[in-house]
Structure 1
Amino acid sequence: MNGDSQFSIVLLAMLAGAIRVSTPFLFVSLGECLTEKSGRINLGLEGTLVFGAMTGYAAAYQTGSPWLGVVAAGIAGAVFGAVHGYICKLPKVNDIAVGIALMLFGTGLAFFLGKPYIQPQAPRLPSLPLGAWSDNPQLQTALQINPLFLVGLALALLMWWAFRNTRFGLIVRMTGDSAPAALAMGYSVDLVRFLATTIGGFLAGVGGAFLSLYYPGSWSEGLSSGQGLMAVALVIFARWNPLACFGAALLFGAAGALGPALQSVGVTAGYYFFNAAPYVLTLLIMIASTSPKRALKGAPGELSITK
């Protein structure tokens, strides 16, 4: 196999991996983007993601329908988001501390309730063979697209448009930028943030269902590998822009696919180092984001990290 052929295989493998690996990042980051746009941070999305993965897998196994599993995962995530939103509206409550507590609670509860579902096989989500027109097996594999990826893309476009052109988007942005202004206009800051946090939790739960029902397509206690927390860094990197969240999710996905892509052409040296690429990327992003000139550029004014 010549160098050009190997390079093509690696690129196609990274394309396929970027699409697969980026989907949970995309849903969690969009949920966190909406939450932070309203002026609240939810660091508990890691626990929401894991609990959504367990709930989706269990529901799919019990009902025989992976799509019912996705719905159940979203509902479970919404419940966690609602709990976070309700607690954070209480006086003198720190949203970061609440998020960390719910992250630990969500992962612990998922591990406890999910033990009976580690071995059973639940039905997997289907994929769309968008590469059927090609005779290249690598390209066909790369273009096996799960519908949730397309839903995430559409959702990113919808959120970007809604923040700029709808009354709902204006209210969310106003609540996140200036709570006194929202109150002066007659809007309930607590209600807006509660709804934004609940919807954000729903999206994180759907991202968890993708992990357990499509890629890697099983339920285990180490399923998430910190993707929920990395998605928070992704939102900062994307400067609270839903379309930029989509691009950043693909970047994180490609970083996560680097190790398997190199292994597909026989490069095994440093395999575990390449598997750490998403974590290294997260660290580099956080270091780059500490610049005093641009660290919080575009951040909603009511976020606790801006005060």
Structure 2
Amino acid sequence: MEQTDLGLWGVPLAILGGAIRVSTPFIFVSLGEAITERSGRINLGLEGVLVFGAMTAYAVAVLTGSPWLGVLAASASGACFGLFHGWICKFPKVNDIAIGIALMLLGSGLAFFFGKPFIQPSAPDLPAIPFGLWSNSSQVQAALNINILFLIGAALAVFLWWAFKNTRAGLIVRVVGDSSDAARAMGINPNTVRLLATAIGSALAAIGGAYLSLYYPGSWNEGISSGQGLMAVALVIFARWNPLGCFAAALLFGGAGALGPALQSVGVTQGYYLFYAAPYILTLLIMIATSSPGRALAGAPGVLSITK
């Protein structure tokens, strides 16, 4: 006989499954922002990149029938935004935070304009691996139905953590982020490194947007992001620019986002909207905790604007 009701045990299981689903965009956006910030540049435009990537992935998947072509198209669009951002920021007296906000508005506006014809059509979903087939419970099966992008994001976090410590490319990014003068003394052009880091970071953020439109929630609409691109910036600071920390913090944010639906599934309806606000409350608390003037940001790149 199939067992579908796990009682209160369904709450942690639902939070686990929800954390995996909700955290995936955070993983890609935060890892991308970690790369960008480790090079000494902060990119507040990732919210616009995320939304434009979601629209691009959905539109290409609708037109081609391939969700993976949608992901590739989204990453290419994100790289273009990153290259544009990096190119503008190389000029003297240009504030990267202000440029990021401008590009956030531009990306969102372009996504809403070009995405209107794709609100109604249905796009194919990204595949997932059913790790819960061993169980007869539909709740277990749903919680352990894990999208491939989550697994790619987990592997990418481990790779970036290793690469920053053990590769020449990682050393170059860290040197540029800590001191432009030291980088120039080593024959490295800081503007070129930051340009490439911003492009790679934006490409990863756009993949996070592709996940939103092609898997969870799996549709395209103008409110698809809900500020996840901006929250990822706080997440990177909380993780101290460590890719593994970004992955863990993304799961924490994902669990906070899954708290409301999990409690609602067992009949807890008091404070319904407060539960859904948990990720935003967590973001606020993290920003307050990390913004103390008497507390140094351990691991922060030396030339990052937020540390000045």
TM-score, length-scaled by structure 1: 0.97
Identity of aligned residues (%): 73
User: In the alignment, what sits opposite 2:104?
Assistant: 103
Aligned match of 2:76: 75
> 1:59 maps to which residue?
60
Tell me which amino acid in the other structure corresponds to 1:90.
Answer: F
Give 1:147's aligned amino acid.
Answer: I
SS in 2 for 1:291: coil
Query: In 2, distance between residues paired with 1:184 and 1:220?
Result: 48
Q: Which letter does structure 1 place at the counterpart of 2:140?
A: L
Letter in 2 for 1:233: A
2:37 counterpart of 1:16: no
The structure-2 alpha-carbon separation of the partners of 1:21 and 1:295, relative to structure 1 and needing over 3 Å to count, comes to farther
The one-letter amino acid of 2:45's match is: G
In structure 2, how many angstroms separate the alpha carbons of the residues matched to 1:127 and 1:11? 21
TM-align CA RMSD: 1.1
Shift of 1:6: 3.1
Q: Distance in 2 between matches of 1:295 and 1:16?
A: 35
Q: Are 2:255 and 1:254 aligned?
A: yes
Alignment of 1:140-179 (within 5 A): 140-179=141-180
Cα displacement string for residues 137-157 of structure 1 (whole angstroms, at most 9, x for unaligned residues): 211111100000000000000
Give the superposition deviation at 1:268.
1.7
* Superposed CA offset, 1:58-89 (max 9, x none): 00000000010000011011111111010000
Counterparts of 1:186-201 in structure 2, within 5 Å, are 186-201=187-202
Paired residue for 2:264? 263
Cα distance in 2, alignment partners of residues 6 and 83 from structure 1:
52
Structural mapping, 1:114-263, within 5 Å = 114-263=115-264
Residue 5 of structure 1 and its aligned partner are, at CA, apart by: 4.6
Alpha-carbon distance between aligned partners in 1 of 2:8 and 2:195, rounded to the nearest angstrom: 48
Q: How much has 1:41 moved relative to structure 2? A: 0.5
Structure 1 spans left out of the alignment, 5+ residues: none
Structure 2, unaligned runs of 5 or more: none
Count of aligned pairs: 304
Mapped to 2, the partners of 1:5 and 1:24 lie a distance apart of: 28
Cα separation, 1, equivalents of 2:296 and 2:278: 22
Q: Secondary structure at the match of 1:240?
A: coil
- Give the CA deviation at 1:293: 4.0
Find the aligned partners of 2:132 and 2:293 in 1 and give their Cα distance: 46
Structure 1 residue 55, shift from structure 2 partner:
0.2
